[in-house]
Amino acid sequence: MNQGKVALFVPLGNYDLKQQFGTALYLASHTDLRPYFLLLTEADHGIINQLNAADIPFRTIDPVFPNEHGSDRTLSNGGQKQPNFMARSPFKVFSWCRQLWAKNRLAKKLIRNVAPICTIISQERPYFYLPVLKAMNDLKVPVILIPAADSSPVGCAWLRRENYTLMAGLNDDQEPSDTVVGGLFTVALNRLVNRWMPSQVYHSDWGKMLFYPAVQILLLKTMGMLPRSPWCDGTSFTDRIVISGADEEAMFEDFGIKPSELLFYGNHTLDELYETWLDQTDIRNSLINDYGLDRDKKILIVTLPRLWEQLITSEEEQWQSIREILDVLSAQDYNVVVSLHPSIIGDHYNWIEREYPVKICQESLADILVAADIFVASYSSTIRWAVGLGIPVVNVDLWSFNWKIFRNLTGIETVNNIVELDELLRRFTTNANGSNLNDGSRQPGDSNSVIVDGRSKERLLSYIQSLDDSAKSTAAPSRNTERVS
């Protein structure tokens, strides 16, 4: 392959395959750049048939099993589960380090053979990513991060909020470990990291915690693979970060990312959302016809909280919260359409249509959101979609989370109790003053907070081509020059 004509993609399981695959197809169809995929885990193998069908070359680092089809195979013993170092011998720790070095060597060999002009990733924090990213940096291959979903530290902290290994010794109220020796060892290492590497510690609502176990942190530091601050993507191995909103811009700048390293381009998911806006009249009419909605009423789409499924609240508290929310929504003069998260088991929610004058939509939220006059959710990442489409958003926080994950986004108002929710919806119905919500008249692409205009891949392609044209150039387009007027 010719130098400067390959764009290397490194996905992460099903987390971002759709976005990376869509971006790769665009590059292949609009330029002579050739996409090439590096699959790091077995979870990535689900895209192999699609890659073969599109004639996109790839290489795997984790094993491809005999019943799977691959165009190129490199086998190594890799896994995604974080090892429990407290229960492993020093030999096992050494073996883990050896596996990381093996991945690093395999990645360097691949990079030298493929000679990519750049590498496109969705995360840099999973430890099995780190050897590959270090190889990119060592060989001076520009790395472009396109986050596939919310990258805020709040979500990462929530997943770790009850992990003793990551919090021991960092908080005064931490419960002692059942294993005295293991507990003391963990406390000592965590405090060592807290003292000498404070950027590895996050001060969350649940207390101070580490992203990786302390043993991993020390080993990764020794191998030169430790991110400067793993609580935010893009702090160490990434040259440019593609963002789509002012919230992301603020978050990355909080973690020391320079504005010149941020590319305000949008992303593939938002491009697809823009396509629905072009058909918004037909989508709205189909929604009205399919679900028997009143054409004279506004459409309110709501995504219900999944706090029980996410182990945040009890089942009883979740159903009580949902009933309180639906009591208010169904009392308003709206067509109320409920969009359930794809992971929700529908049978658990069938009672909603029997007890409330609402409709449960079978289509995905991305396919119908453009039909909404107002969108109600609870700290959902889809709130950013509505903002980008110019749809007023009510963020329901009955549980006093007070998460700051939508900072600097316009068109959102958060309510902290049922009374506030009822008052806000009534004000919006009459378009009265006193609400920070817009009137729904904005168009995609006009918002300064989330960009939805269908042109993200076009901008990305232009930037990648500039790498080919200028070779060693490190200048990135400023945010202002990339905005669409």
The per-residue pLDDT for range 373-385, each reduced to its tens digit, is 999 999 998 999 9
pLDDT-above-90 percentage for the chain: 53
The pTM of this model reads 0.84
User: What phi, psi does 151 have (nearest 5°)?
Assistant: -105, 10
The residue to which tokens 């909080």 are assigned? 254
218, amino acid identity: L
Superfamily for domain range 280-429: Glycogen Phosphorylase B; (3.40.50.2000)
Cβ atoms 445, 393 nearer than 8 A: no
Distance between CA 406 and CA 115 in Å, rounded? 39
244, amino acid identity: S
Distance between CA 383 and CA 395 in Å, rounded? 8
Across the chain, what does the average pLDDT equal?
83
Query: For 183-190, what is the mean pLDDT?
Result: 88
Higher-confidence residue of 3 and 238: namely 238
Cβ atoms 40, 13 nearer than 8 A: no
- Provide the 10 A C-beta neighbour count for residue 316: 9
Total residues belonging to the chain: 485
Which residues lie below 8 Å from residue 110, measured CB to CB, with a gap of 6+? 38, 59, 74
Domain boundaries, the chain: 6-151+232-266+453-477, 154-217, 280-429
Distance between CA 376 and CA 394 in Å, rounded? 5
Which residues lie below 8 Å from residue 244, measured CB to CB, with a gap of 6+? 264, 265, 266, 267, 270, 384, 388, 450, 451, 456
Distances (CA, A) of 304 to 173, 299, 308, 440, 452: 33, 16, 11, 22, 24
Do 280-429 and 6-151+232-266+453-477 have the same topology in CATH? yes
The per-residue pLDDT for range 432-456, each reduced to its tens digit, is 443 444 444 556 765 558 999 999 9
- Which pairs from 462-469 meet CB under 8 Å and 24+ separation? 463/144, 463/240, 463/263, 463/265, 464/7, 464/27, 464/33, 464/117, 464/118, 464/144, 465/31, 465/33, 467/4, 467/117, 467/118, 467/142, 468/4, 468/5, 468/33, 468/117
- Maximum distance among all Cα pairs of the chain, rounded to whole angstroms: 71
CA nearest neighbour of 149 among 245, 27, 36: 245
Of 83-97, 106-120, 297-311, 347-361, the range with the lowest mean pLDDT is 83-97
CA nearest neighbour of 378 among 344, 411, 415, 352: 415
Distance between CA 103 and CA 40 in Å, rounded? 9
CA nearest neighbour of 308 among 267, 270, 354, 349: 349
The per-residue pLDDT for range 298-354, each reduced to its tens digit, is 999 999 888 777 767 777 888 899 999 999 999 999 999 999 887 776 577 888 999
Q: What topology is assigned to 6-151+232-266+453-477 in CATH?
A: Rossmann fold (3.40.50)
Distance between CA 399 and CA 424 in Å, rounded? 18
